[in-house]
Amino acid sequence: MNENRILQQVTAIFSIFMVFFYLGIGSYLLFFAGLSYIDKALRVIMGTTFIFFGLYRAYRAYVKIVEVFFTEDKNKE
């Protein structure tokens, strides 16, 4: 296994953590009532943006994980 493929696997796993981060921040902004100092409209806009971006990142992470972990390396020696 070459170093480039290992780096791709590490970034694919890191992208899973980023998906949870974006979904967590989005749900925190939408559902946590303790943020009364931030305007509700701004919280809803930012929260839904984070959630949709998290869902997009989840799809991209799934595609990347399938590509990196479950396909054969084309440059085998």
Please give the Cα distance from 23 to 68 (Å, whole number).
Answer: 24
Radius of gyration from C-alpha coordinates of the chain: 17
d(CA 45, CA 35): 14
* pLDDT at res. 36: 77
Residue-wise pLDDT for 32-76, tens only, equals: 878 778 888 999 999 999 999 999 999 999 999 999 998 877 665
pLDDT of amino acid 74 = 67
The pLDDT of residue 11 is above 60: yes
pTM for this entry: 0.83
CB within 8 Å of 41: residues ≥ 6 apart: none
Query: Alpha-carbon dihedral of residues 35, 40, 53, 26, nearest 10 degrees?
Result: 30
